Chain A
Amino acid sequence: MSPRTPVLAIGLTLALLATACGGAGEVEEGRTADLDVATGVTDDTVRIGTHQPLTGPAAPGYAQISAGAKAVFEYVNENGGVNGRRIEYLVEDDGYDPVRTIDVTRELVASDEIFAMLGGLGTPTHSKVVDYLNKEGVPDLFVSSGALMWNAPEKSPLTYGYQVDYTKEAKIQGEFIADEFPDEKIGFFYQNDDVGEDSRAGLERYLGDEIVEEQRYESGVTEIGPQIAALKKAGADVVVCACIPTYVALAIVESERIGYRPQFVVSSIGADTETLKGLLTEFTDGAGEDAVEELLDGLIATAYLPQVGMAEDPWIGLYRKIHEDHNKDGAFTNTTVYGMVQATLFAQVLKEAGRDLTRQSLLDALESREWAGPGLVPFAASKDDHGGFAGAMVTRFHAGGEPETLREPKVTDREGGAISGFELERPDPGETEFFDGG
């Protein structure tokens, strides 16, 4: 206890007693944090952290993300680290409860003194620490959620998005459906939160009366029979599914149950075919791997990252190897790859920032150029656009084969802008600098 402590205590008491009369919600603009610091950086390590739901009702599926990221960091560290520094990656469990997110984030920032936050997961959770991270001057990179709010450079200058936001992705789905299924009736099945809301905003740019039925599910309520029955009754031939993998699988099982075979168009968050296969093994006609693939055959999905099924993709090749060396317990799924790409991107930026590392130099490096790496579409991280992956492609799953590309990757914005192609040289792992090597 410092000698100042008692004085401070008495001062506090007096101040409290003289009840503050100002409005509780009237907040003055705070100071801006000093970014020319290298908190969490030593000569040979750089410490970063994340909050993830590892236990509790929302945990299923998400633990793979940090496991994937961790595997990549281990690989990087084994190969000499980045600019002579090993990456220390701290994963804190928040159980998808914002109260715990706030606690573990403060612990990461104040006690563990992390250099940056990487890929904090979830909209309800991460939205509660964005202001704190920005105020404390902690770079808040590559948030694991497709909500629109991460891309607000004015309000949250240190926060950068990662996955394609729900609206952009839905616009691409909407245009695709309008072109390819012009005369069909469309159904929309969505998660009852910003996932559904933002997705609808995108779809409605291209689809109007074609949407004959909308049904929602509540995360945690696994009973979705009535919703699927309603979609069937409305005669929807195409069902857009803005859902997480468990609910995509539930929708497929439930449709199978009532003999309803619509064309599913699934958002990237739910289109993890390996996970879906695992969930559906017990609901096939025949037995074995083939039967499950049969059940998923023809599934249309949007993607902005390389897919596990793309056997020829050099990044998938590398990730599969990293997975086998460093993440043997887990499954190798698109969700794992999601975390792996996140880690790769971070290591790329760290490499670019150079040996002389501060938070400012990290952010400068991040905004310094167009990023090309494992992702299939350009990655927006500039002064005015913190949007992350800027678009998606449309693929179709084929039983026993590679996914077919129905639409080449395209980019768009979240407003009324057009959907357009782009120029992007996608480098092989060998051409990408994300560790020292040797």
Chain B
Amino acid sequence: MDRFVDLTLNGAANGAVYAALALSLVIIYQATRVVNFAQPALALIAVYIAYSVSGLTGRYWLGFAAALLAGLLMGALTERLLIRSVHDRSPLSAVIVTLGLLLVLQGAAGMIWTNEPHSFPYPMDFRGRFSASDAFALVSVGTAAALVFALYRFTPLGLRMRAAAHRPEAARVAGVRVGLMLTTGWALASAIGALAAMLAVPPFVSPNVLDAVFVYGITAAVVGGLDNPFGALAGGVLVGLGLSYVSGYAGPELAPLACLAILVAVLSARPAGLFAAPSARKV
């Protein structure tokens, strides 16, 4: 029973991270219909910037802020400089561009900060069965999700962003600056990705540290349904708990297989994820 509680707490904290990453993927997918493979690399650079800033100033939270800001900027730049030029092509082009960017950024991180792992702190005290850090992860991801939801649902900016994503022509006619809205979406998503990475990376940062987390993040996004931010949250928690139970009870080497099993189980019942919009096209 004790073990079950341990695994649950563990899974929930990890789930929050997967959820945040899934959320960032979902926002970008909603905006531009692209699965952003460069997300872990953008987040990685953000974390390394936090590492440098914290190292120079000695203040963790300054680094934290720098990471979110860097995420915001890099997301906007990626959309503006790369994604926009392939926007009118097959979605596969955009995927390949993000793959290329992933390699470039991971390599660049290794060049600048070396491939050696560095010690990287938790946001708050990490001690305890359910530590202040774990709580911070849950709260910050929950807050981010609520803000995104509120933004989309209740603000004019959110309305314009949704319009730009779903009905670009109509939005343009209505005077919405579609390009700017898409850039905003990417910036927002990358900032959330940076948040996810700040939570996921500790205790060590190295260029490939987010690879596995990213796979779980994608899984969470797909499980939840790519069209639904709440789906991303639910998917994240589901994947986090599922992986924790499987590694705890059956063995850590089975975590990737568990990921596959969860996906198959969910998608065979609901081909467009748990929270699919009812209008999802069925083929």
Contact = CB atoms under 8 A, between A and B. Distances in A.
Nearest to B252: A218
A218 B255 contact: yes
Contact of B247 (A60, A226, A257): A226
Interface stretch (A100-108, A246-254, A351-359): A246-254
Nearest to A64: B116
B204 A249 contact: yes
Contacts, number: 99
A257 B6 contact: no
A223 B252 contact: yes
Interface residues of A, number: 39
B252 A192 contact: yes
Interface in B109-149: 110, 114-121, 126-129, 131
Given A223-B14, A225-B10, A256-B127, A280 B119 contact: yes
A217 B252 contact: yes
Given A257-B128, A258-B129, A226 B119 contact: no
A229 B6 contact: yes
Nearest to A229: B6
B211 interface: yes
B114 to A, nearest CB: 8
Given A192-B252, A192-B253, A226 B116 contact: no
A55 interface: yes
A56 B203 contact: no
A59 interface: yes
A216 B251 contact: yes
A61 B253 contact: no
Contacts of B248: 226
B213 to A, nearest CB: 9
A36 interface: no
A225 B243 CA distance: 12
Contacts of B206: 59-60
Given A233-B2, A279-B119, A282-B120, A257 B10 contact: no
B257 to A, nearest CB: 11
B204 A63 contact: no
Contact of B203 (A233, A259, A283): A283
B3 interface: yes
Interface residues of B, number: 37
B212 interface: yes
B116 A60 contact: yes
A60 B120 CA distance: 15
A281 interface: yes
Nearest to A230: B3
B93 interface: no
Nearest to B244: A226
Given A55-B115, A57-B211, A229-B3, A221 B252 contact: yes
A331 interface: yes
Contact of A60 (B117, B121, B253): B117
A104 B114 CA distance: 22
A193 to B, nearest CB: 10
Tell me which of A217, A229, A233, A258 has the highest count of chain B C-beta atoms within 10 A of its own C-beta.
A229
B119 A250 contact: no
Nearest to B256: A221
Contacts of B255: 218, 221, 223
Contacts of A220: 212
A61 B204 CA distance: 12
Contacts of A256: 126-127
Interface string A54-87: 1111011101100000000000000000000000
Among all A-B residue pairs, the 3 with the closest Cβ atoms: A282-B121, A226-B248, A282-B119
9 contacts: A55-B115, A57-B211, A192-B253, A216-B251, A223-B10, A226-B244, A250-B203, A280-B119, A283-B119
